[in-house]
Amino acid sequence: MDGLHILANLYRCAGEPRYLTDRAALRGLCLAAIERAGLTALGDLFHQFDGGGATGCIVLAESHVAIHTWPEFATVTLDAFVCNYSRDNTARAHGLVDELVAIFRPEDAVRHEVRRDLTAADAATRVAPLRRAAG
């Protein structure tokens, strides 16, 4: 099984300000974009901070989406992870992130894509088990 993790930082966003400051609007935006992308939302939690920003996470059948806003900087951080266990969700993840970026209209953006290969046989790619310190 493999997956795709997309991380995006959106700076100086010129889109609708309510998506930066209104938890309910941000939630509705994310859930609609997830549905249009063909992904399956299973549950969500969004929080409104005093002073304006919001944060949210949507659990997907395919994995998750997390979003955080800083209206004082017109900045958004976004993270979308999809696994490709039962089908290839790569295009769906790209479509979701592309739509959200277009709606926020950042002046500048940094985007990273991390491939997650959970079946790698190469021992060098495996993480050693955690050990407790003595004492």
Residue 112 is among the residues annotated as catalytic for this protein: no
**Count of other CB atoms within 10 angstroms of residue 82:** 27
Marked catalytic residue, from 47, 83, 94, 112: 83
Cβ-based burial of 56 (10 A; exposed 0-12, middle 13-18, buried ≥19): buried
Question: Residue 48 forms beta bridges with which residues?
Answer: 54
Q: Is residue 83 annotated as part of the catalytic site, yes or no?
A: yes
91-to-32, 40, 68, 102, 109 alpha-carbon distances in Å = 17, 14, 23, 16, 20
Q: Catalytic site residue 68?
A: yes
Question: Of 47, 63, 64, 112, which residue is the catalytic one?
Answer: 63
The catalytic position among 5, 64, 68, 94 is: 68
Report residue 60 as tokens. Answer: 């997907």
Active site (catalytic) residues: 63, 68, 83
